[in-house]
Amino acid sequence: MDQDNKSVNQDIQNSPNIGTQPNPNRGQKKKKQQQQAKQAKQKMNQLKQLGQLNLPQGESNIHALTIVGQIEGHKVLPPKNKTTKYEHLLPQLIAIEQSPKIEGVVVILNTVGGDIEAGLAISEMLNSLSKPTVSLVLGGGHSIGVPIAVATDYSFIAGSATMTIHPVRLTGMVIGVPQTYDYLNKMQERITQFVAENSSVSGKRFEELMFETGELVRDVGTVLIGDEAVKEGVIQEVGGLGNAIKKLNTLIAEDKKQNPSKYQQAPPKNQQQPNPRESVMQAISKEQGMIESMNQDGDV
C-alpha cells in the first residue's frame, strides 16, 4: 500500500497542474491596463495645464489654437477663473512655426480680455508667423482680445459674438501723478497703433470707439456686435467655422504658389541615405573604367 501511495504521489507531482500554469495573456492584459492608466493620467495633466485634449483624429495640416476665458499674464489669477496662460501659448506658436506638417493656424477666440502685455505678446507672435492664419471670434473677443483677433491674416466674427473696446485699466496701487496718466496714454497708443496697422479701422476712429460714453452704463467704451465690428473695419467678415477653414485653405494654396520651397518636405527618416564612402568608391571605379577603355582604344 505504501509503495502504491508513493507512486500515486509521484504521478501527481509529475503531472502538469493546470491551475498553477502561468497565463501568457494575463501579463499582456496587465501591461495594456498600465498603458491605458498612463495615457489617462497624461490626458488629465494636459487638461489641467492647457485646458484642452488632443482628440483622436487623422493627419491635419491645420492647427487649432484656442484662447478662452481671461488671459493670464504676470500675476496668477484665482483658481476658479477660466484662464489662458500666455507662457503656454508662446511655445506652441514656436512649435507651429517650426513644424513642417502644420501649414496653417485657426485661432478660436472667446475671451473677456486680461493682461495687456501678455495679450500684445500673443498678438505679435501670431502676426509674425510665416504661415497663413485665420481668427474666429465666438461669443466674445473683448478688451485685449481685439488685438489678438486682428493679428491674423484674415478675421471672422460670429453674428452673435460681441467685442468690447474700452480704455486701459489699472489694478493695485495707483499713484495720483501726471506720469501715471501719461503711462496709461502710451499703453493705449500701443494698442491703437497695433489694431490700426492690422485692420481697416483708423486709429482716430478706434479711439472714438474707446472713449464713447453713451454705450455702457457704468463704463466708457463701445460694444460691437457681429456686423457692427465688420462695418467699423475691426473684423473683415461675419462667418463661422466653415468659412474660417475654407478661407484658411485658400490662403494656404496661395502661399504654396508664392513660396513653393517653404513646403518642400524632408525625406522620411526611415529612408536609407546614400553612404558617402560608397559614392566616392563608385566614382573612382567609374573613372578607372573610363581610363581602361581609353587605353584599349589607344592600343587598337
Q: Is residue 6 part of a domain?
A: no
Task: Say what the pLDDT of residue 300 is.
Answer: 41
* Distance separating alpha carbons of residues 149 and 142, to the nearest angstrom: 10
Q: Is residue 25 part of a domain?
A: no
Eight-state DSSP code of residue 272? P
Per-residue cell: 188: 493705449
Q: Report the range of poorest mean pLDDT among 95-99, 213-217, 238-242, 271-275.
A: 271-275
Read off the pLDDT of residues 36-69 as tens digits, 9 standing for 90 and up: 888 888 777 776 666 665 655 567 889 999 999 9
For the chain, what is the domain count? 1
Q: Across residues 145-150, what is the average pLDDT?
A: 96
Q: Is residue 29 part of a domain?
A: no
The domain that contains 242 carries what CATH number? 3.90.226.10
Q: Across residues 156-174, what is the average pLDDT?
A: 89
Q: In which band, very low, low, confident or very high, does the pLDDT at 35 lie, cut at 50, 70 and 90?
A: confident
Residue 235 belongs to domain spanning: 60-262
* Distance separating alpha carbons of residues 166 and 157, to the nearest angstrom: 19
Q: How many CB atoms sit inside 10 A of residue 62's CB?
A: 17
* Distance separating alpha carbons of residues 35 and 29, to the nearest angstrom: 10
Task: Say what the pLDDT of residue 1 is.
Answer: 54
Can 88 be counted among the known catalytic residues? no
From 123, 135, 166, 199, active-site residue: 166
Q: Is residue 194 part of a domain?
A: yes
Q: Across residues 121-148, what is the average pLDDT?
A: 94
Q: Is residue 55 part of a domain?
A: no
Can 142 be counted among the known catalytic residues? no
Rg of the chain taking only CA atoms, in angstroms: 33
Q: How many CB atoms sit inside 10 A of residue 168's CB?
A: 17
* Distance separating alpha carbons of residues 151 and 252, to the nearest angstrom: 17
More confident residue, 26 or 201: 201
From 135, 143, 155, 199, active-site residue: 143
Instruction: Tell me the one-letter amino acid at 17.
Output: N
Q: Is residue 164 part of a domain?
A: yes
End-to-end CA distance of the chain: 105
